[in-house]
Amino acid sequence: MTPTLFTLTGNLLWERTLDFATWSPGKTQRARSESFQAGGKGINVSRMLKRLEAPTKALCFEGGSTGADCLSWLAAKGIDNHALPTKAATRSGTVVRGNQPETTFLGPDAAPDEHAWGACAAYLDALPDGRVLALCGSFPGWSTPAAAPLQAALTRWAARGILVADTYGPPLDWALRQPLALVKINRDEFDALHQPTASTEPFASRLATAFAVSRTQTWIVTDGAEPVWYVDRSSPPRSFIPPHVKPVSSTGSGDVLFACLLHAAYQRGLSLSDSLNYALPFAAANAASAGIAEFDLNNLPA
C-alpha cells in the first residue's frame, strides 16, 4: 500500500482570484470573473498529490469564517485534511489578473493560539512511526514560546519518521538544525542564509559548504526557470535544467515541484535524482498555466 504523505501548512490562506480584461490603479474596476480556493504551501502540495492520485493528508490551522470556507473547499475537492482550530481568523488574500502582471495582495498573518500549537503536536505524536511529513511555508508565531510543543513534536518526528521542509525565515533556521531528509528552498531563501560577500563565490561551492555544515541529507535549490541545484550524500552539487515553457503564472510551481518530488521519492521509490527529473516537467507545466495544479497531466513539456 502506498504510504500517506502528510503536509503541514502553518499559514492557511483564503484566496479570491479576480480576472480583469484590463485594469489600472486609481479607478473602480469590474472583474469579468472570480474564483475561490484555499491556499498555502502545504495545501498546494496536497492538491497536486491528489491530482496524482497519491495518498495525502493536509494538516492546517484554521479559524473564523474564512477558515470554514477553506475547509469547505478542501472537502469539495476531496482533499483529506485535519484542521486545528485557532481563535484568529484565517488570513485572506486576493489575486488580480489582467493586462498587468499578476499581483497578489495578502492580509496580515495571524499566529495560531497556544491550544492550536499543542493540538498539532499531540496529533503528530499519535501518528505511527516511519511516515513522511512535509513542513510547508511560513509559520507565524514560530519564535514564540507557544510554538515550543510543535517544535518538540517535530524533533521527535525527525527521529522516528521522515521530515522534509519547504519553508523560510525562522522555521527554516530551526529546520536546518534538525536531521531533515530533504530541504527544498528557492534561490532567494538560500542567499538569505549567507553573508552578502558569499554571493561572489560559485553557487556550487556555496551549496557544497551549506550542505557540509548541515544535518540535512538532501538540498534542492530552485530559481524559477533557471537551473535547479541538487546535492546529497552520494554526489557533489549538480544542476538540472527545467523544460522551457512560455510562463503564464509562476504561483504554486515550486509547490507542484515539491509534491511530485516527494511522490516519486517516497511513494514510488525512485532515487532523489530521478525524482527531481520526474518532477520538473510538472512544475514547468504549472508555470505555463493560470491555476495551481490544474494543468493537463497528459500534455507535459518535454
Q: Going by C-beta distance under 8 Å and a sequence separation of 6 or more, which residues neighbour residue 90?
A: 12, 13, 14, 61, 62, 63, 64, 66, 67, 70, 110
pLDDT tier at 195 (50, 70, 90 boundaries)?
Answer: low
Query: Of residues 149 and 234, which shows the higher confidence score?
Result: 149
Judge whether 245 and 288 are in contact, CB under 8 Å.
yes
pLDDT tier at 44 (50, 70, 90 boundaries)?
Answer: very high
For residue 148, is pLDDT > 90? yes
For residue 19, is pLDDT > 70? yes
**For residue 60, which phi and psi values (nearest 5 degrees)?**
-155, 160
Q: How much is the pLDDT for 198?
A: 60
pLDDT tens figures, 236-262: 999 999 999 998 888 899 999 999 999
Whole-angstrom distance, CA of residue 279 vs CA of residue 256: 8
Range 71-99 average pLDDT: 96
pLDDT tens figures, 97-123: 888 888 899 999 989 999 999 999 999
For residue 182, is pLDDT > 60? yes
The amino acid occupying position 161 is: G
Q: How much is the pLDDT for 199?
A: 64
Range 35-48 average pLDDT: 96
Question: In percent, how much of the chain has pLDDT > 90?
Answer: 84
pLDDT tens figures, 260-293: 999 999 999 999 899 999 999 999 999 999 889 9
Chain mean pLDDT for the chain = 94
Question: pTM score, two decimals?
Answer: 0.94
Secondary structure element (H or E) that encloses residue 126, with its range: helix 114-126
Domain definitions of the chain by residue range: 5-10+40-89+110-287
pLDDT tier at 302 (50, 70, 90 boundaries)?
Answer: confident
Q: How much is the pLDDT for 23?
A: 86
Note the CATH number of domain 5-10+40-89+110-287.
3.40.1190.20
